[in-house]
Amino acid sequence: MHKPAHHITVIGGGFAGLTAAITAAEAGARVTVYEAHGTLGGRARTAQGPYRTNEGPHALYAGGPHWTWLRQRYLIGPLAPLPPLEAARLRLRHHGVLHRTPPFAMLKLLRRRIGPAPVDTDFLGWATGIAGEEGARAAAHYAAVALFHHDPGGLSAAFVQERLRRAAKLPPEAHYPRGGWGGVVDRMAARAWNMGVRIETGARVDELPQDTPVVVATGLPAARRLLRDDSLEWPSGRTVLLDLAVRTRRGDVFAVSDLDAPGWIERFTAQDPSLAPAGEQLLQGQFPIGPGQTRADGVARAEQLLDLGLRGWRERVTWRREAVADGRTGAVDLPGRSWRDRPAVDRGDGVYLAGDQVAAPGVLAEVSFNSAVTAVSLILGRPALDLKRA
């Protein structure tokens, strides 16, 4: 069935859907966005209220193409820089004790002269040959901040090594939009609206429209149901998310990375005090759990890190929330598989996928961005690079 390219339907108003909508509108297409939720943003949504949380720890990595695209369009907005004193309060748990620096063996994996990691070997096996088993395990667990997976050492070496280098890069690639990711989403929505994009929230789509090309910018489970395509599967993580507000006490750590097991907790008000009421600190953490493990298991590990890094935190708690993100933390690639093996963007018959679990390169939100631009480029018959520059 031929579907005209002058009108494009986007299903899903998260980061991928808004990227697709803006990209298409900039190229002259008419666009309609349908979002089932009452507000836009998807996993980039920032909660309203006294504690402005994202869905788990969020940062915007400056090394990816989405950073350039957002900056060119003035969509990032003001950033919340991390004060040097706070940056010095990063701690790493190793052998049950907090340290200021990682184990030396782990640093071997960050040397520039190391060649590309292989796709078809697990990270732990490959990295052990370079840094020994202890260094390899510590590196795998440190990389978990960008993986959200309970066994990062068992994933493809190429997949984990890319994320390890990005997470450990100096100066850091991670940046923090002031007020959370919600501000970025609001600016993207305003740009789309000003370019004539029609946006409908609270609008669940159960059947694909037949008169326009469609970009399905949802998670894979929703896309699987909508397209009635059981092949739309790819591994992701299962992660306990902990949000915590505590009364301020001088000397609290900025973040703790667990090198003994995958886990990370970060005090986001260290860089952005607007995320919590005056006199309080907002922390967000993620603790991946494996098959057979429960939310309580992840919470127990979080509390162990808090006991080490935040003196007297239990008596200071003013607000707390726990959740489990199951299959909502992006794709993970097993040994022998890469992003090219994930569900293809082009599904045929004028239907295209965009999101963080489809066949596009990048780290975290970069996958959503690249897949969204690719989908629009296929619809319009224009190179993706041209659309990124538009």
pLDDT value at residue 370: 97
**Number of Cα atoms under 13 Å in the Cβ half of residue 295:** 8
| Amino acid 1: pLDDT | 39
Work out the burial of residue 93: count CB atoms within 10 Å of its CB; fewer than 13 is exposed, 13-18 middle, 19 or more buried: buried
Q: Give the contacts of 76 (CB within 8 A, at least 6 positions apart).
A: 60, 67, 70, 177, 184, 187
**pLDDT tens digits for range 211-230:** 899 999 999 999 999 999 99
DSSP-based three-state secondary structure for 213: coil
Confidence of residue 6 (pLDDT cuts 50, 70, 90): confident
Residues 282, 276: contact at Cβ < 8 Å?
Answer: yes
pLDDT tens digit sequence for 14-28: 999 999 999 999 999
pLDDT-derived band at 382, boundaries 50, 70, 90: confident
* Stretch (H or E) spanning 347: strand 346-348
Q: How many CA atoms does the CB half-sphere of 329 hold within 13 Å?
A: 27
The b/e string for 25-36 (b: 16+ C-beta within 10 A; e otherwise) is bbbebbbbbbbb
Question: Which residue is associated with the tokens 């003001």?
Answer: 78
**Would you state the structure tokens that stand for residue 287, as one six-digit string?**
């603790």
Considering the domain delimited by 7-45+181-234+334-389, tell me its CATH architecture: 3-Layer(bba) Sandwich (3.50)
Is this prediction's pTM over 0.85?
yes
The two structure tokens encoding residue 123: 């990270």
State yes or no: pLDDT of 108 exceeds 60.
yes
Could you give the percent of the chain with pLDDT greater than 70? 97
User: pLDDT for 62-106, tens place per residue?
Assistant: 988 999 999 999 999 999 999 999 999 999 999 999 999 999 999
pLDDT band at 113 (very low <50, low <70, confident <90, very high): confident
| Distant-in-sequence, close-in-space partners of 363: CB < 8 Å, separation ≥ 6 | 61, 64, 146, 162, 163, 166
The domain spans of the chain are 7-45+181-234+334-389, 102-167
Strand partners, 283: 244, 267
